[in-house]
Amino acid sequence: MIKFTIITLFPEMINTFKSASIIKKAISNNKVTIDVVDLKCFGKGKRRNVDDTVYGGGTGMIITVPVLDKALDFVLNNNVNSIYNNSKIIYMSPKGKLFSQKIAKKYASSKDNIHYIVICGHYEGIDERIFSLYEIEEISIGDYILTGGEIPAMVFTDSIVRLIDGVLKEEATLLESHTNNLLEEPQYTKPFEYKGLKVPEILISRTS
Ligand SMILES: C[S@@+](CC[C@H](N)C(=O)[O-])C[C@H]1O[C@@H](n2cnc3c(N)ncnc32)[C@H](O)[C@@H]1O
């Protein structure tokens, strides 16, 4: 079994992701568990502050190390006596290892009960000291900058969940682009002819 816990400042984004399509079905069929943890719950003071200015100058704010530490401690302690005590922490980061279908397959094929704890950064990022406190893998979804780690976390989670055994029919994923370093062939559906454009004959003979 695979469990994801996504730590985010914007739980509503992840909750929407959880409530649609294949992900929703995979959750209701007990193929995966996806928990969402609101980072603001670990914020400081009445206003639940999670960020502060950058040492050495620079624009923007950084998510503080105590806030991240408390959140990770909470998530890990909550799972101590569960079947998900085998955890892997991932930080969605533009500086991380480039994510791929191969990595998604590896993560989806884990034989043990595994718990992926996914940290979504925001603002200018997170305090570097968190990497000294925990073993964290940094994963990037591409060489561009997004506002926060929520979209990368959804990309990461979605691509893994659809590869978990029983989520899709096996043949649906076997022939997909990037599965064997190949791209899927062009596909067509009815009508056979549209604005003079016909479906290639070879596919018609294959269908019949
Ligand atoms: C605005 S970005 C921070 C960028 C950071 N200041 C830098 O230059 O590397 C805010 C957050 O979005 C997430 N993020 C942005 N782009 C990403 C990408 N390509 N892959 C994974 N995460 C990304 C990270 O969690 C990051 O902490």
Q: Which of 53, 54, 92 most suits a substitution to test ligand 1, by most atoms within 8 Å of the C-beta?
A: 92
**The CATH number fitting domain 2-172, selected from 3.30.420.40, 3.30.2320.50, 3.40.1280.10, 3.30.70.100:** 3.40.1280.10
What is the CA(149)–ligand 1 centre distance, in A? Answer: 6
What is residue 148's predicted lDDT score, i.e. its pLDDT?
98
Per-residue confidence band for 207, with pLDDT thresholds at 50, 70 and 90: low
Parse the chain into domains and list their residue ranges: 2-172, 182-207
Pair 96, 138: CB distance under 8 Å:
yes
Residues pairing with 97 in the sheet: 139
What residues line ligand 1, using a CB cutoff of 6 Å? 92-95, 120-122, 124-125, 140-142, 144-149, 152
Q: What is the pLDDT of residues 48-84, one digit of tens each?
A: 999 999 999 989 999 999 999 999 999 999 988 889 8
| 157 SS3 class | helix
Q: Which of 65, 146, 151 most suits a substitution to test ligand 1, by most atoms within 8 Å of the C-beta?
A: 146
CA dist 99 to 23, 26, 77, 138, 186, Å?
19, 22, 28, 10, 25
Interatomic CA distance for residues 92 and 149, integer angstroms:
6
Q: What is the pLDDT of residues 147-160, one digit of tens each?
A: 999 999 999 999 99
Neighbours of 47 (CB within 10 A): 8
Which tokens hold the place of 60?
């923007």
